[in-house]
Structure formats: structure tokens, C-alpha cells
């Protein structure tokens, strides 16, 4: 096996950054939603922005995972940091999606 690439994947780092931002925005949106109309508008906007960021995080992480798998098959394995970033980004996307569902109880409605 050829040596692994020592640089971390940009896509994996971007996925983790976007997932963290989406998670933070969704949490902020949940905190701002109250009975009054102004806070509901802020909460809805935060919900939309959070899910947009989370969707792009999932896309970036999937592309980085596919690229890493392709490199692995070509015997140029990705760095250990890339694997750590991919696992962390995937875990954060899944945990945020479970904690902030799109529909049902806990979704973007107040």
C-alpha cells in the first residue's frame, strides 16, 4: 500500500464546520421560540438557516467520504485526520437531525 496523504480533506473539514454551524443555529432557534410573534419569526428563520447549513454539511461530508473511499481503493489512503473529521461530521449531522426533526414534535413550529 502506498503511503497515506498527510493532508486532511477540505471537504471533511467543511462538513464538520457546516454541521457545527447548523447545529448551533438550530439550537439558537429552539431557544428563541416563545409565544410572541416576533420571536417566532426569528425561530423560523433560524430553523430554515440551520437546516440549510445541515443539508450542505451532509453534502460536503458525503462528497469527502466518496473521495476518501476512491483514494483508499487507489491505494492512496486518506490521512487519519480526514477519517476523524469524517466520523465527527457524520455523527454531528445525525445527532442534529435527530434532535431537530424536520417534521413532527420539535420541528420548526412553535
pLDDT, tens digit, for every residue of 8-63? 788 899 999 999 999 999 988 888 876 566 677 888 888 899 999 999 999 999 99
Q: Is 77 exposed, middle or buried (0-12, 13-18, 19+ CB in 10 A)?
A: middle
- Listed residue (9, 5, 3, 1) closest to 61, CA to CA: 9
Query: pTM for this structure?
Result: 0.82
Cα 41 to its chain centre, rounded Å, is: 23
Phi, psi of 77 (to 5 degrees): -60, 145
Burial of 64 (0-12, 13-18, 19+ CB in 10 A): buried
Identify the pLDDT of residue 51.
Answer: 95
Identify which of 94, 82, 93, 84 has the alpha carbon closest to the alpha carbon of residue 19. Answer: 93
Residue 106 has pLDDT above 80, yes or no: no
Can you spell out the DSSP letters for 20-59?
Answer: HHHHHHHHHHHHH--SSHHHHHHHHHHHHHHHHHHHHHHH
pLDDT tens-digit series, residues 53-100 = 999 999 999 999 998 888 888 877 788 888 899 999 999 999 999 988
Euclidean distance between CA atoms 89 and 17, whole angstroms: 8
Amino acid at each position: 500500500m502506498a503511503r497515506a496523504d498527510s493532508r486532511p480533506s477540505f471537504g471533511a473539514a467543511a462538513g464538520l464546520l457546516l454541521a457545527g454551524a447548523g447545529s448551533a443555529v438550530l439550537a439558537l432557534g429552539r431557544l428563541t421560540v416563545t409565544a410572541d410573534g416576533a420571536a417566532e419569526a426569528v425561530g423560523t428563520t433560524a430553523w430554515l438557516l440551520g437546516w440549510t447549513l445541515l443539508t450542505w454539511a451532509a453534502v460536503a461530508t458525503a462528497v469527502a467520504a466518496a473521495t476518501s473511499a476512491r483514494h483508499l481503493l487507489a491505494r492512496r489512503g486518506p490521512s487519519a485526520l480526514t477519517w476523524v473529521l469524517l466520523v465527527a461530521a457524520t455523527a454531528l449531522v445525525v445527532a442534529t437531525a435527530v434532535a431537530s426533526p424536520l417534521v413532527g414534535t420539535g420541528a420548526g413550529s412553535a
